[in-house]
């Protein structure tokens, strides 16, 4: 994998309440890939359209788990590992809340030119299901231009 990469993140949240449509978010950005101490790292920034705030993202892969660390207007540290219930604080400009991430399924595909991570998880607060979520992170060698 080259140092310069293009990162695409596709996220979907489905509310447990009947009749509510799933919410889908997609973002694409150029980033940097590197390996250190047996782990793979992807760094990229996202620009929020509505607020123009920048969020710095770090994805850390170790073969059995994925960490997503976000710093900016929205800040959190999320750990995804199959069968693991991970508590995290989700910080927004309006305040913060404690959430639990329960990873249902995690797959990591790697080749010389691409990494594709697929995560299915529940987002919970005080044992209450907030949403069923899925995230697909695709990292491809090269740049957008």
The rounded average pLDDT for each run of 10 residues, N- to C-terminus, in the chain (145 residues) is 90 81 89 95 87 89 94 90 91 87 95 95 91 95 80
Question: If we measure between CA atoms, which residue out of 76, 89, 83 comes closest to residue 125?
Answer: 89
Single pTM value for the model: 0.89
- Per the listing, tokens 């080749």 go with 111
Q: How far apart are CA 6 and CA 28, in angstroms?
A: 7
Predicted local distance difference test score (pLDDT) of residue 145: 62
Predicted local distance difference test score (pLDDT) of residue 29: 94
């Amino acid at each position: 994998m080259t140092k310069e990469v293009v990162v695409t993140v596709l996220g979907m949240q489905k509310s447990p309440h009947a009749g509510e449509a799933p919410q889908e978010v997609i973002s694409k950005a150029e980033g940097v890939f590197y390996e250190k101490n047996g782990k793979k790292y992807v760094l990229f920034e996202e620009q929020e359209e509505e607020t123009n705030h920048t969020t710095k993202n770090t994805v850390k892969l170790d073969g059995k788990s994925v960490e997503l660390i976000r710093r900016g207007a929205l800040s959190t540290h999320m750990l995804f590992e199959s069968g693991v219930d991970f508590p995290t604080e989700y910080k927004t400009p309006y305040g913060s809340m404690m959430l639990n991430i329960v990873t249902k399924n995690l797959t990591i595909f790697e080749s010389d030119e691409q990494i594709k991570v697929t995560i299915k998880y529940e987002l919970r607060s005080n044992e209450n299901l907030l949403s069923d979520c899925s995230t697909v992170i695709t990292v491809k060698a090269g740049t957008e231009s």
